[in-house]
Structure 1
């Protein structure tokens, strides 16, 4: 059974990942895609009060389970759009360890800090300043196959860019390059550039 494909959206809270994912599910017509969002996994957790230590442990286990759920879905041939916040280095490393790099289109979802702050205030359902805390962390690894900016392009425009790029992913992929850097897994494939929306 052929493995599925992964469109992996990484960006801060309120950067527009979920909106892009919904658009992708609407326009990707060469398979059956599932939207797997880390927020959805967090929402399944019991919401009773926990000590900070217990909460941190529960959140780490949740994210580890999320990563393994992605791998399991893809292993049996499902195509997925992943919506994640790689704000801690271990999250990226865990994904690099679990997911086959050739299956992953790694997408950087960017937005200006001013716009992220405005969106947080409008939404009112996220801790104030969350995006600012994540802003310098989520893209620190500095390597994507394709990037989009939701401050200058609509979710549909970003989704169309990703759809156009999906069948012609670079060789090696960003995940292949990042595995070489973080896990010491070498490759000898030629590097090609990535795309970015304006």
Structure 2
């Protein structure tokens, strides 16, 4: 029996539970607030040949209801949001989707959690740097972030000290950074930064590709 117009053949639709796609790649942009991660992510979506989804953590925080939280509740809710965000990224990649993530590894547990739930071979860890003076200038210009937030985050964000590729948004604009990342992908060496960090920081976890 022929299919109706515009209706895909059944054989073209993966059946429920089928592992029809390989895991997607995760381009993981890590840097302080106002370092330029979101701008690079937007340029990556234009520069990359394959389809990618941009999953910013700010979008997950924006989904939360606007109920006022007490000082005791807020850290708990934020922690749960970050944990859920990490697992949402892992789930999208597991479904075969390529993902661009912008992140702030300003608390040690965030990196440890990501090392557990993300497939380390799939992650391209990008360090997004910017001098403090420029960060403060951007904070003042933006007006939607507390001045000094980036400075408070700065010491911890890059403390793990290992990346696949790094860029400085004070010396290269977002478009140039995106091009550098795109051109790096085909020649990315192994083991990845995430594989090395997982072996070092989470040795209790089994090695994973």
Q: Runs of 4 or more off by more than 2 Å in structure 1? A: none
Q: Does 1:118 align with 2:125?
A: no
Q: Does 1:170 align with 2:170?
A: no
Match of 2:201 in 1: 182
Cα offset for 1:35? Answer: 0.3
> What whole-Å deviation, never above 9, does each CA across 1:17-67 have from its counterpart, x for those lacking one?
0000000000101x2100000111111112232111211111000000000
Q: For this pair of structures, how many residues does the alignment match? A: 186
> What whole-Å deviation, never above 9, does each CA across 1:99-142 have from its counterpart, x for those lacking one?
11110100000000000000000000012211010011100000
Match of 1:141 in 2: 160
Cα offset for 1:186? Answer: 7.7
Partner Cα separation in structure 2 for residue 64 and residue 186 of structure 1: 20
Q: TM-score, length-normalised on structure 1?
A: 0.92
Partner Cα separation in structure 2 for residue 164 and residue 73 of structure 1: 24
Partner Cα separation in structure 2 for residue 166 and residue 65 of structure 1: 27
Q: Does 1:90 align with 2:112?
A: no
Partner Cα separation in structure 1 for residue 66 and residue 31 of structure 2: 25
Match of 2:5 in 1: none
Q: TM-score, length-normalised on structure 2?
A: 0.87
Match for 1:14 among 23, 34, 38? 34
Match of 1:190 in 2: none
Q: How does 1:1-198 map onto structure 2 within 5 Å? A: 1-29=21-49, 31-184=50-203
Partner Cα separation in structure 1 for residue 206 and residue 190 of structure 2: 14
> What whole-Å deviation, never above 9, does each CA across 1:147-179 have from its counterpart, x for those lacking one?
000011000000000000112211100000000
Partner Cα separation in structure 2 for residue 53 and residue 157 of structure 1: 43
Rg larger in 1 or in 2? Answer: 2
